Amino acid sequence: MNILLMGLPGAGKGTQSEMISRDYDMIHIATGDIFREAIKNQTELGKQAQAFTDAGNLVPDEITNNLVKERLAQSDVKANGFMLDGYPRTLNQAQALEANLKDINSSLDAVIYIKVDPEVLKERLSGRIICRSCGATYHKLYNPPKVDGVCDNCGASDFYQREDDKPEKVSHRIQLQMDSISPILDHYRQEGILHEVNGQEDIEVVYRHIRDILGE
């Protein structure tokens, strides 16, 4: 089975992908892993991608699309199917994926979108705090220190929040992702392969819904 797993930051996509990988044979393919592997092996596409990342620039769609196509054509994927994570990020990439899968006589069976209200995502993402002394990570609501203001690990009382986790930055990040993901969801909805799962339920309940889509 070939699936695409989608969700906004904080929706729980990483947790669900780990559970799917645990219980199903399909190959988990994350775009970042593809980049790292290609750069490590210094493939032609890897060298091209590295030139952009080293310069601090985004890798162009054409190179990204070809790297994904190259990975999807490998024997382990053909034998077991795949779960694609972190791609496509644009409608152009979604259309390229469709064409590239057709070229290798493959296709998507399902697109699973873990849907969470943006306000809930902001709460999840902006609650993270980090101990400045030892680097231990907590969440103000979901995983606070056992004693308020005191690190469980080292006993320090100095916490900070990453710039990216501050509420205003989180809101901007979520809005950008929503603007990017909406046309992709519409595309797969029209294709009749989009399945929306309520990501605000308990983790195990969300996973049960996903298993219903994938089949036991």
99 is in an annotated binding site: no
List CB contacts of 97: < 8 A, sequence separation 6 or more: 65, 68, 84, 87, 88, 108
Spot the catalytic one: 13, 71, 122, 124.
13
- Is residue 173 flagged as an active site residue? yes
206 marked as binding residue: no
User: Averaged over 7-28, what is the pLDDT?
Assistant: 92
> For the chain, which domains are there?
2-117+168-214 (3.40.50.300)
Q: What is the mean pLDDT of residues 27-51?
A: 90
Mean pLDDT of the chain: 92
The pLDDT of residue 216 is 63
The span from the CA of 171 to the CA of 176, in Å, is 9
Contact 165, 128 (CB under 8 A): yes
Catalytic: 140? no
87 marked ligand binding residue: yes
pLDDT at 215 over 90: no
CA 175 to chain centre: 16
102, 162, 166, 208: the active-site residue: 162
Residue 24 assigned to a binding site: no
Query: Are 103 and 66 within 8 A, CB to CB?
Result: no
Residue of 71, 122, 124, 173 marked catalytic: 173
Tell whether residue 11 is among the known ligand binding residues.
Answer: yes
Average pLDDT over every residue of 143-167? 93
pLDDT of residue 33: 86
> How many CA atoms within 13 Å lie on the side-chain side of 137?
6
Residues 37-41: contacts with CB under 8 Å, at least 24 apart: 38/67, 38/70
Q: Over range 14-22, report the average pLDDT.
A: 92
DSSP annotation string for 115-127: E--HHHHHHHHHT
Q: Is 57 annotated as a binding residue?
A: yes
State yes or no: 124 annotated in a binding site.
no
Residue whose structure tokens are 């399909």: 26
Q: Tell me if residue 128 is catalytic.
A: yes
Instruction: Yes or no: say if 129 and 138 are a contact pair by the CB < 8 Å rule.
Output: yes
Mean pLDDT of 161-188: 92
Percent of the chain at pLDDT > 90 equals 74
- Beta bridge partner(s), residue 129: 138
Q: Which of 78, 89, 115, 140 is catalytic?
A: 89
| Element containing residue 164 per DSSP (H, E) | none
Residue 26 predicted with pLDDT over 80: yes
- Report the pLDDT averaged over residues 191-198: 97
Query: DSSP 3-state assignment of 145?
Result: coil
pLDDT, one tens digit per residue, over 50-102 is 998 888 888 899 999 999 998 999 999 999 999 999 899 899 999 999 999 99
Q: Where are the alpha helices (DSSP H) in the chain?
A: 13-23, 31-40, 44-54, 61-72, 75-80, 91-103, 118-126, 167-191, 203-214
Cis peptide before 88 (omega within 30 of 0): yes
